[in-house]
Amino acid sequence: MRTKFEHLQAAHCENGVTTNLLRGAGAQKLTEPLAFGIGSGLFFIYVPFLKINKGPAIAFRTQPGLIFKRTCKALGIPIVRKKFNSKEEAQKVLDECLQAGIPVGCQVGVFYLTYFPKEYRFHFNAHNVIVFGKEDDQYLISDPVMETATSLSSYELERVRFARGALAPKGQLYYPKENRIVTDDQIRNGIKTGIKRNVRDMLYIPGSIAGVSGIRYIAKKIKKWRDKLGPHDAGLYLAQLVRMQEEIGTGGGGFRYIYGAFLQQSYEYHKIDALMEISKSFTKAGDLWRTTAVQAAGIYKGRIGSQQDYNVIHDYLMEIADIEKQAFTALSKIKWAK
C-alpha cells in the first residue's frame, strides 16, 4: 500500500517533514523556508556543562519538534502525536495510518539508520522521516535530506524508532489529524508571529548562553580553549563546532541562509521593503559563519594554531553577534499592517 505523498528534498529534516506533511494536508503553498520561519527555527545555544560525543553541546536551531508544532498551530492544522511503550503497538498504529492513506512522521535515531553512510551514524535521536507506504515487509521512507525516497524493513524501522539514550524517540509518530484549507491570511499571520517569537528567542532570552548573547559567550570561551584544553582537544572542539554548524540536518550557516530565504518569501505576503533588506543581513551572517568554519578548519587540520588564530575566531563570532543583533532588532521594529 502506498499513500498519496510527494517526496521533496529539504536542507533540514524537521523543516522537510513539516513541509511535506502539511503540503499534503492543505498547505500547498508551504515551503521549507516558510516552515522554518513560521516555526521560529533560528537559534543559538551553547550549553557549557553538557557534552555531546565528548565535545561541546552547541545548537543553531530551536529545540527538536518545535518547528513542526508551531507551524501546525499557525496554520490551524490539528495534529495527532503518539509515543509508545510497546513496539507491537507502535507498528500496529503506524500500519493502521498507512492503511487509512495517511503519511506519518516518525522520530528516529540515526545510529542504526541503515541507509546512512557509517561516517554519519552517531547516537542522535531527533532525526525525522515520513513513512508513506508499505510493500511486503518494506516500509517506504521519505527522508527529507535525501534526493529520493528509500525504504527500511520492519525490523530496521522498529530499531530506529526505539533507539535509546538522550531524546529517545519511544516510537513517536505524528500526523495531521485532518486536512484543512490554509488561507494566505493564515500564512501572513504565521509569518508575523514567527518573526516576533524569533526576535524574542534571539534577543531577549534570559541568561547568557543562548540567543545573540550565546554567540558572544562561546566567542569568549573559544579564546581560552587553546590554553585550557590543549591544542589537540581544542581542535576536536572546533571540529565539533563546525559539524554542528554545517553538517547535514543541523547547518548553522545554512540556517542563516534559510532564514534569509524565509524573509524574501515573506515579502510575497507582506509588502514591506525592510524584509528584503534584512534578508541581506542574514546572508551576511551566514557567510561569516562559513568564514569562521574555514578558520576553525585551519586549526583542526593543523595548518595554523597560534593563540592569535583563536582570537580571529573570537572576532568573527563577535561580528556575527552584532550582525544578528542588528537584524533581529530591525525585525522587531517592523510596522505590520493591521
Partner 1 sequence: MKKEEIPQDPSALNKLTKEVCYAVDQSGKYVTELSTGWEVKANALDVAWEDIEERISKAKQKVLNNEASPILFFIELRLMDIPIVAAYTGFWKWQVKQHLKPSVFKKLSEGKLKRYSEAFNISIEELKTMEVHENQI
Contact between 320 and 285 (Cβ < 8 Å): yes
* Piece of 69-77, 80-88, 93-101, 117-125 that binds partner 1 (CB under 8 A): 117-125
Beta-carbon contacts of residue 117 (< 8 Å; ≥ 6 apart): none
Contact between 65 and 14 (Cβ < 8 Å): yes
**Contact residue for partner 1 among 135, 247, 307, 336 (CB under 8 A):** 247
Closest contact distance (angstroms) between CB of 300 and partner 1 is 5
Closest contact distance (angstroms) between CB of 265 and partner 1 is 8
Closest contact distance (angstroms) between CB of 148 and partner 1 is 8
Query: Is 112 one of the binding residues for partner 1 (CB under 8 A)?
Result: yes
**Contact residue for partner 1 among 268, 287, 309, 315 (CB under 8 A):** 287
**Contact residue for partner 1 among 138, 264, 329, 332 (CB under 8 A):** 264
Query: Is 246 one of the binding residues for partner 1 (CB under 8 A)?
Result: yes
Nearer to partner 1, 219 or 293 (CB): 293
Binding positions for partner 1, 149-178, rule CB under 8 A: 164-166, 168
From the CA atom positions of the chain, what is the Rg in Å? Answer: 21
Q: What are the distances in angstroms from CA 192 to CA 106, 209, 280, 289, 337?
A: 29, 26, 19, 26, 10
Query: Is 142 one of the binding residues for partner 1 (CB under 8 A)?
Result: no
H/E element, 80: strand 79-82
Q: In angstroms, rounded to a whole number, what is the distance separating the alpha carbons of residues 142 and 150?
A: 6
Nearer to partner 1, 26 or 286 (CB): 286
DSSP lists the bridge partners of residue 173 as: 82, 106
Query: Is 242 one of the binding residues for partner 1 (CB under 8 A)?
Result: yes
Query: Is 122 one of the binding residues for partner 1 (CB under 8 A)?
Result: yes
Beta-carbon contacts of residue 224 (< 8 Å; ≥ 6 apart): none
Query: Is 224 one of the binding residues for partner 1 (CB under 8 A)?
Result: no
Q: What are the distances in angstroms from CA 8 to CA 112, 180, 205, 225, 229?
A: 23, 21, 34, 41, 43
Number of residues that bind partner 1 (CB under 8 A): 55
Closest contact distance (angstroms) between CB of 271 and partner 1 is 16
Residue 29-48 contact track with partner 1, rule CB under 8 A, x = bound: ----x---------------
Q: In what order do the strands lie in the sheet with 79-82?
A: 79-82, 173-176, 104-108, 127-135, 138-142, 150-153
Nearer to partner 1, 148 or 308 (CB): 148
Q: What are the distances in angstroms from CA 316 to CA 101, 220, 266, 280, 308?
A: 50, 11, 29, 18, 13
- Residue count of the chain, please give it: 338
* Piece of 8-16, 65-73, 179-187, 221-229 that binds partner 1 (CB under 8 A): 8-16
Q: In angstroms, rounded to a whole number, what is the distance separating the alpha carbons of residues 13 and 19?
A: 10
**Contact residue for partner 1 among 218, 234, 236, 331 (CB under 8 A):** 236
**Contact residue for partner 1 among 3, 18, 279, 281 (CB under 8 A):** 279
- Chain residues in the site for partner 1 (CB under 8 A): 9-11, 33, 53-55, 111-112, 114-117, 119-123, 145-148, 164-166, 168, 235-236, 239-240, 242-243, 246-248, 253-254, 257-258, 260-261, 264-265, 279-280, 283, 286-287, 290, 293-294, 296-297, 300-301
